[in-house]
Structure 1
Amino acid sequence: MNTPTAVEAIELVKTYGDSDTIVKALDHASLSILRGRFTAIMGPSGSGKSTLMHAMAGLDSVDSGSIRLGDMEMTRLSERERTVLRRTRIGFVFQSFNLVPALTAEENIELPLRLAGQRADRAWLDELAMTLGISDRLKHRPSELSGGQQQRVAVARALVSRPNVVFADEPTGALDSRTSHALLSFLRRAAHEFDQTIVMVTHDPNAAAHADRVEFLSDGRVVDGFDEPTAGKVLDRMALFEVASAIEPEVAA
């Protein structure tokens, strides 16, 4: 049985600057993310991986191409419609946590639902808190939590609305190795046990090794990808980018 596609980018083009200093961040980039899987997106600095994620998450517009979230064509939506979509069908986990200091952990988790005029499913919120190990920290404010606890609150906030897909931008960048491992293990569990779709941008081969699949970008295009990544396989693939980068200037000369 085929696994349905959760979100798909088709021939995305995104440029910055004017005619004299134009930068093509996405160059006809295409990517399909399957539902219920944990997918890592990698590539050299400037390859377009964050731009692609922001476009697929509805955070940024594109010059051309198509983005489908299930049966919805996102590129045709207005900014207001994309905002509503992000509150109800898309979750986000960022490296900087982005928690509201004045709110408790529980209030931060519930915030996207409140903004959408909805109430949290209490049983689901409690299950998330228990699974993430923050049940006893829900009444604490971010300043009273460790970095790892704040990130787990951010993950619970991303999942509380049961979105179609959760995008994570370098979610372990500010965490120690032990906390990073625990968070990545949970994201993998969320995909496999909760049928949640997770898309993570990372530069860390060890982080990518937790994913079901890794996709590689170079020069604004998706150029490779494989299932069941290991840190070693990812490092080998990344080394090819470095070799290619070293050869290109010589060819140009």
Structure 2
Amino acid sequence: MMDSHRTSGGGAIRRDGEVRDVTATTGQPASAAARASDVWKVYGSGEAQVIALRGVSAEFERGRFTAIMGPSGSGKSTLMHCLAGLDTVTRGTVQVGDTTVTGLGDSGLTKLRRDKVGFIFQQFNLLPTLTAKENILLPLSIAGRKPDPAWYDVVIDTVGLRDRLGHRPAQLSGGQQQRVACARALVARPEVIFADEPTGNLDSRSGAEVLNFLRNSVREHGQTIVMVTHDPTAAAYADRVVFLADGQIVSELIEPTAETVLDTMKKLDTPAEVAG
């Protein structure tokens, strides 16, 4: 079965290599956790102008794990930052759930990031003086909210850190620190979690642990994750991979493998081959 996602530009390639046209975009299904509609992002002006995104339209379905890939400078991180409200768009519309991110003021963006969005970055961004538990609960503490005890237990057991909750970051391995960061993003039950190169600072074993956690949080708990990565092996953990080149979506893969991701990346210089 083909996935129901729609993108602008390019085709959707299944694991079996079959190419289907996905250029038609109609309607706005309620299942979208995040959506970009004809998004442009332009930096600078005149001769110094850089167009990072060129009319990108994409939907990210609830309860799915999507990876965003592309060559350096393709716009993948810019797209994620615009979706997460970390950057503004020049033109177009961004939505997270039923909230239109485009045009939100500072207070609205603060509320969005606090209530609807979780973040996982390449740098773990843990406070060194706090324990693992205190780091996990920090966003809720800042918001004046208490965790749901049952959900907190599920998160802690999912990341496998129950015996490390009293440890500070310096007492944890890199993989354990990133799992703390994952738990911190998940504990507030956000609409969507955005992960920017979450395994970039980890060895292959620790990276696999984090990626397995992210995949399990989607499959077992219905979390929505959008991950930027340059690693075909990491992208293979996702349900879907969206490929950008020169600020545009040029292709996508459903049920990817590391081999099909790598093959698609090699073909990005010849879009006609990718689109069939």
- The answer to whether TM tops 0.5 is yes
What does residue 215 of structure 1 align with? 242
RMSD: 1.4
Map of 1:90-239 to 2, 5 A cutoff?
90-239=117-266
Whole-angstrom CA distance in 2 between matches of 1:15 and 1:97: 29
**Matched length:** 244
Q: For residue 3 of structure 1, report the CA deviation from its aligned partner.
A: 7.4
Q: Secondary structure at the match of 1:30?
A: strand
What does residue 20 of structure 1 align with? 47
Q: TM-score, normalised by structure 2?
A: 0.85
**Identity across matched positions, percent:** 57
Q: Secondary structure at the match of 2:102?
A: helix
- Amino acid in the other structure paired with 1:201: V
Larger helix proportion of the pair: 1
What does residue 23 of structure 2 align with? none
Contact 1:4 1:34 (C-alpha < 8 Å) held by counterparts: yes
Q: For residue 222 of structure 1, report the CA deviation from its aligned partner.
A: 1.1
Whole-angstrom CA distance in 1 between matches of 2:53 and 2:130: 37
Whole-angstrom CA distance in 1 between matches of 2:95 and 2:222: 19
What does residue 11 of structure 2 align with? none
Choose from 79, 89, 101 the match for 1:74. 101
Whole-angstrom CA distance in 2 between matches of 1:88 and 1:113: 9
- Amino acid in the other structure paired with 1:7: A
1:63-120 deviation line (CA, Å, top 9, x unaligned): 1110111221110211221111101110000010111111111111111111222111
Whole-angstrom CA distance in 2 between matches of 1:88 and 1:72: 11
Whole-angstrom CA distance in 2 between matches of 1:101 and 1:94: 16
Q: For residue 148 of structure 1, report the CA deviation from its aligned partner.
A: 0.6
Contact 2:121 2:197 (C-alpha < 8 Å) held by counterparts: yes
Q: For residue 15 of structure 1, report the CA deviation from its aligned partner.
A: 1.1
What does residue 30 of structure 1 align with? 57
Q: Secondary structure at the match of 2:120?
A: strand
2:108 is the alignment partner of 1:55: no
Q: Secondary structure at the match of 2:223?
A: coil
Q: For residue 18 of structure 1, report the CA deviation from its aligned partner.
A: 2.5
Whole-angstrom CA distance in 1 between matches of 2:53 and 2:102: 15
- Amino acid in the other structure paired with 2:80: M
